[in-house]
Structures are given as C-alpha cells and as structure tokens.
Structure 1
C-alpha cells in the first residue's frame, strides 16, 4: 500500500504583526513632535535640547557604567562621531519643527523610511524591486499632497529643514552599520556616548551669542506640562532609534529577530515559524550582516530597546 505525502501548509501570516515596528515608529515620531512643538520656540531650541538629553544621560551612564568602561578608544571615537551627526539631526529637526506644523514635520521625517533603503541599495549596488520603487513613489507623492493643506504652495523653511533632517537620519543609519569600531559595542553604551557627544555640542552652542535663552532660564520657566513633555521626549528617543533600525528588516527577518530577542534557539524559531533550521540560520546571518552585529545578543538588545518583547503576538502560534 503506497502512501502519499501531504504537504503541511503554514498558517496564514499575520502581516499586521510584522508591520508593527513601522507603525510604532510612526506613533513615536508623531507624538514626540507634538510634545516638542508644545514646549519649544525659536529662542529655546538649543536650551530644550540640552534639557531633553541632560535629563536622561545620567540615568544611562549609571545603568551602563561597567560597559562604558569596557569600551575601547576606537569605540569611543566611533560613537562620538555618530553623536556629532546626531546633534546635527536634532538641531535641524527641532528648528524645522518650530517653523512648520507638527503634522508636516511627522510626514516629512517619515521619508527616512524611504530614503534609507534607497541609500542602502545605492551603497551596496543592489537595485530595489519595482514594487518597492512604486510604493516609494506613492509614499513621496502622499507626503507632498498631505503637507499642502489648502493647495499647492512652496514648502516653508521648516518643511525644507525637516527634509534635510530626514536625509541626515538616513546618513546616521548608514554610518551606524558601517563604522567598524562600533560594531561590537552594545546598544546602551553606543546610545549613551552618542547622547553625551550631542549634549556637549548643544551645551557649547548655548555659550555662543544669539543662540537663544539659557537652559537654566528655560527650566525655571517650565511648569508641570512642559516638564511632562520633556520627560516624554527623553524616553522616546532611544526607542525611536531602535524601532527605526528594526523597520529596515524584511518581514521574515523581523519575525526571526523578535524570536531571537525572546531567547529562542534556531530549532525553536524554525518550529514556531514553520521554517527549516537552515532557513533560520540564513535569516539570522542576514540580520547580523545588515546591522554589522557580531552575535545574537546584539539582536536581542535591539529588539528589547524597540519594545517588541512586550507584544504577545509573536509568540508561538500553538
């Protein structure tokens, strides 16, 4: 009696779960711009930036002090360079936000999600698929239409600054993946040094004439609402950067990354996602290569920073 092998079909993939990191990026970006818009004026941009990061920096230093001490000189230099780029991003972005609406700021900065894979494709000389290019074109057209308001008008200075900030964020992501000295640095230490470098730049700028109010006078004038907004901005920054990087992964890579973050072995991931172990190994290798990581622990830290381990949707489908 002959037997017939019946293929086992994988359950339908829940696409909305794999798109969750992108949605979280949009939510964090949008809410952070509303908060920043409410507490920032042209004269307080640099002061607010000093306060925003000075609030969270001591906490990061205390939490990651042993790992900070373990950084090599090359890692400090690499992370410091990234911090200089980050300071430029926040300066351009915050001045842009002051001169445009929070809605326009959120829409324009979202173009980073388009610019980054296009830049990555250009650097690696891998031509994007036609479907991606079509989706990118529609996204750009949508941003243009949504930022026009009552009709087609010339972009404001704030809109143009936000566009520069989106391009600068793209550069920052590419540099993070390509500066060899920071590849083995853990996420917390890398974030701490970057923010320390950025705060140093902001603090030096406050001493320059014509840069607006001092951080002390701005802090003295803050009420409960302003301090609440500042604390929200301080907490949102790290998660935002992690989610931005996670959003660069393909759907299957994202699923595997979350599973790695939960501490699963390759065999467990294969069983949960109905893949072969060899396929899982390939996906993990791609994730490591995409972020220039050295081990699975770095993937887990990134997923943790993005806040994806609190979602129960990616647990075993059984």
Structure 2
C-alpha cells in the first residue's frame, strides 16, 4: 500500500510540474526571446542526460535509440516551439487547458493501441473539448482568436502526432528511456543553436537569477525529471491509474496561473475550463474502457475452435 501511494505521489508530482511549466515558460519568455529559452532548456537538459548516461555501465547507444531518438527529437522540438511561442502570447492557464486536447486527439491518431473503431461517445467527448477551446479563446467575448491560443491548438495536434509516433516507433523494441531522452535533447540543442544565436543568445547571460531559475526548472524538472519519473512510475502502476493522475495537468496549470501568476479568468473562460477538464476526463475514460474491452476480447477472437 505504501509503495502504491509513493508511485501515485510521483505521478501527481509530474502532473504538477508539467502544469506549472506554462507559467515558468511564459515568465522566461518575457525576459529573453523564445528561441533562446528553447536552446537553454535543451542544452541544460542535454548536459544532465549525458552526465546520467555516462554514470551507467551500459551507457552506449544502440542504433535504434539514435535513429528513433533523432526522429522523435524533431517532432518534440516542433511541439516545444509551438508551445513556447503559444504561451508567450496567451495566459498560462489557457495554454495548459488547450494543450490537454492531446488526451482526446491521440487515440484518434494512434492505431497501435488496439483502439480500432472508437465508440460514438468518444467523439461526443471530443466535441465537448472543442467547444471548451472556443470558449477559452473567446475570453471576455467572442472575437478573433488570439495568436497564442491558435499556436497552443496547433501544439496540441502536433503533440498528439508525437505521442502516437512514440507508440508506433517504440512498440516491440528495447529502448532505454534515458538514452532516448539524451538523443532527443542533444538534437534539440543542435537544432536551436543557430536560431538562438541570431535571436540574441548573449542576452541570456545578462538576466537575473530568477530567470535562470526558471530556465533550470524547465530543463531539469519539466524535462529530465518529469520524463524519467513518469517512466518509472508507469512501470510500477497501472496505465489507467497513471493516465488519470497525469490527466490532472490542466488543473494544475490553471491553479498555478491564477494562484502564482495572478491571471484572471472570465465567466466564459471559466466555463471553457470546466468543459475542457470534463471532456478530457470523459474521453480518457471512454478510450481506456474501449481499449481494455478489446484486449480482453482479442484472445477469444484468435482462439482456434475445437470440436467439429
């Protein structure tokens, strides 16, 4: 019981860390350009991952880890570009809520999880989430969507593609999470080095300790710690329980945005937030039940008939 509670606590901590990352990124981008923030986040993460790999006895990288890590590194970088530019132009609360669309978009793209044909109720839940996005983008009244909200919407779609790709590329292969993460962070560092240099990289040396603290938090906690802790916890818990706890990320994004960031939520945005949390949890529950049912029925479908 204690071990299960400890695992749950780690998963909940990951959700809190991810939820708080939007305010940290928004604050950091107020001080330095987005591309500089991304380069610093990747570079610090890469140094930490490479140091951890170096301490392992079997630290060598396999061909699959380098090849798949490189491909996933590109899609992950695309997600972070959209997310970071998006949160720089909208509220941290909105960013965390809109990105949670990934929860209902991923099953639509992932055909390796045994989803097959999803039930109509799942699409109803997706509709609730899309309505929620409309209300969140409206703010205090219906108007042209803000650039930041549209970027976060694009980030949710690309993140869903990234997650589905992770499932497809890692299925049936022995890939170590630490080595895979190291390859992705090194690639991200390389990708953002030149753009960051042309965007004013020297400015990062002039920022105060608070901004450096946010950059270190994004790199070491929101990237390295969160990924490794999530992998460890999921291996020691059920997938359903893990997804339920990690699904609280948008709730923490709102709590941190309002509580620490002093952000305001209008009545329409508040309704959108409630619908988003409801829709994502509903869709998550439907997909999980549907997948479990198909997995239970699969052996019966493939069993060889006996008798005449």
| TM-score above 0.5, yes or no | yes
Match for residue 25 of structure 2? 36
Partners of 2:125 and 2:232 in 1: CA distance: 19
Partners of 1:162 and 1:42 in 2: CA distance: 20
Identify the structure with the greater helix proportion. 2
Q: Contact 1:28–1:240 (CA<8 Å) still a contact in 2? A: yes
Structure 2 length-normalised TM: 0.65
Q: Contact 1:97–1:158 (CA<8 Å) still a contact in 2? A: yes
Match of 2:215 among 230, 239, 257: 230
Q: Contact 1:246–1:254 (CA<8 Å) still a contact in 2? A: no
Match for residue 102 of structure 2? 112
More relative contact order, 1 or 2 (CA 8 Å, 6+ apart): 2
Partners of 1:153 and 1:256 in 2: CA distance: 37
Gaps of 5+ in 2: 1-6, 244-291, 296-308
Cα distance, 1:69 vs structure 2: 4.1
Match for residue 141 of structure 2? 151
Give the direction of change, closer, same or farther, for the CA distance of 1:241–1:62 in structure 2 (3 Å limit): closer
Give the direction of change, closer, same or farther, for the CA distance of 1:253–1:94 in structure 2 (3 Å limit): closer
Partners of 1:51 and 1:256 in 2: CA distance: 30
**How far does the alpha carbon of each residue in 1:231-250 deviate from its partner, in whole angstroms, 9 at most, with x for none?**
2111112455568889999x
Q: Contact 2:110–2:167 (CA<8 Å) still a contact in 1? A: no
Higher Rg of the two aligned structures: 1
Give the direction of change, closer, same or farther, for the CA distance of 1:151–1:67 in structure 2 (3 Å limit): farther
Match of 1:47 among 36, 46, 53: 36
Match for residue 119 of structure 2? 129
Partners of 1:67 and 1:142 in 2: CA distance: 49
1:205 maps to 2:195? yes
**How far does the alpha carbon of each residue in 1:255-300 deviate from its partner, in whole angstroms, 9 at most, with x for none?**
599xxxxxxxxxxxxxxxxxxxxxxxxx8xx7xxxxxxxxxxxxxx
Partners of 1:94 and 1:165 in 2: CA distance: 9
Q: Contact 1:120–1:174 (CA<8 Å) still a contact in 2? A: yes
Give the direction of change, closer, same or farther, for the CA distance of 1:248–1:107 in structure 2 (3 Å limit): farther
Q: Contact 1:110–1:166 (CA<8 Å) still a contact in 2? A: yes
- RMSD after superposition: 3.6
SS at match of 2:138: coil
